[in-house]
Structure formats: C-alpha cells, structure tokens
Structure 1
C-alpha cells in the first residue's frame, strides 16, 4: 500500500505529540508536590501532638526551629511576639508550666494543612499547683520549613492562661 509523504509526516507528527503528551502526564506536577508538602507537614504536626498527648515533654523543642517567631494574639500580659525558641521557652512556656501540678496535655485535635501552613485546633487540660483544673481551647497556625515551624500564630483564651499566672506564685521568685 502506498502512503504519501504528507500522510506519513502527519501521522508521525501525531504519534510524536501523543508520546510527548504521555511523557508530560507522568511528570509530577506542582499540585502533586503541594500535596506531598501538605501531607508531610500535617503528619509531622499530628505525630508531635500525639506524642505530647501520650506524655512526651519535648513538643516545643521537636516542633520549633531555633529562630522561630511565636505570636500570641489577643490582649493581656501574655499577648505578644517571642523571637527565638530559647526566648519563647524562657518567657512563655517555663513561667506557665512552673505553675502547673500536671502539665497541659492535648485531649482533642483537628488538623488541616495548606502548603507550608498547618492549622491545629485543639483542647488542652491540666491542673494548676493550687489544685484547680486548667482547660483551654487553642488554634495554632504553623508555617513549616524543613519539618520545623518557623512562625506560629497562637489563639487561645488568654483570660484563663493569665489567670494561672496571676493566681499561682512563680516558684522561681522569692
């Protein structure tokens, strides 16, 4: 059977286009990469919260980059910005934790991820050194980079948090 040159070129061109299109479909897209980032970040945060809920005490050191920025939204003495992990632990975590008989532990959580951001809404409970229960609801927004949070925005009932700080004397102060 005789095929004209123009018919051969057209069918070869179509075969090339089909082969090229098939190859493009097998290359990961930005959406695939975005899904991978979201899945990984959500897993990291979820696993860290699960370890904390199970009794772990390294959550902040595990989750936060050394140069992170933690912002507590709201008004009151505890609201504000903390730059650096050590500064945050020394001025926000330690003063609160030192006033607790039993540490705050997550008792429920919901986690969402969108690219480099992970949002976790969680409820926590503990007991203050005066025997009074402490419970609060939190929403934390993590901006992740290389498996660590570099920026965190925290929302919580600061009235409950600050009440513990006012009510219980700092054990490190004379």
Structure 2
C-alpha cells in the first residue's frame, strides 16, 4: 500500500517591531530551535517600526511547536505577530512574470488605480514596492512603485502593454511594463 504524497506545510509569520535586528534574529532563532527552516523573508522599515514577513517550513509537529511559542516571544520582546498556515503556491508553468515601473507626482489614489488595472485584467500580483520621496529640484512629493505581476497563459502581451501605457498616460504616470528578469549576482 502506497502512502499519498505529503504536501509541504508552511507557517507564514507577519511581525512588527521597533528593532529590525532583534525582530529578525529572535524569530529566525525560534524557527531554528523548533527545527524549522526559513524559506523566504522580507523586512522593511516604516518610520520607527519594521515589518518582517517570514515563510517557515517544517514538519507538522515542528511548525506546531514554533506556532505555540510565538505568543510568548511576541510578549517578551514587544512584537506584534500574526500567524497563518499556508500551502505552497501551485505551479503556473504557462504564466509570464512581468514588472511594471511607475513614477509620478504623489496622489493618494495611484496605488489603488494601479491595482485595479491589474484586477480588471485578471493579472495576479506577486510583489509590490512603493515609496514616496521629495524631489530635490522642486520639493514635490513623488511616488515610485515597482509591481511584479504574473500574466495568465494566453495573454496578448502587445495588447496588454498598449492598455497599460494608455492607462498610465490617462493618469499622467511615467510607467513601463516589461518582462521580469533575474537580478545579476
């Protein structure tokens, strides 16, 4: 009798704290001590706080051990933690990764408009980075966004590119969409 394949399990941890090094070190050590592995992480600083997202893999009992210890770790270190179980993302072999780059004078609705464009075209959002800064020449508040998306199989790329550029022109955004390329080592 053969056993069904075991699906890899993940724990997704979202944590907020004032000290990025302590936040990262404490949670990575806790994962290691529970015999779990950090499979991906993102840390960003936002004002005086940092946000850390960790994807942890391990056996069900190792994940349970880590999960049960996290509230105490959060309380002891003054972190805010949210935890959820996750399964791996299903493969999408026919999908195409693309990146949209946007620069514009800041308006509060730009990010929402960009997301709505991709929702309307049934395009999956993979990653988004958005920052504001003061333009040194004019003092204007500027927005820069990098949005990684996955185009579904069968998407007519030239048509989508034209749609995106028309959309950006209508909102007075300096924008570009191109295939995703791996970063140089």
Taking structure 2 as the reference length, what is the TM-score of the superposition? 0.24
Considering fraction of residues, name the structure with more helix: 1
Larger radius of gyration: 1
Taking structure 1 as the reference length, what is the TM-score of the superposition? 0.25
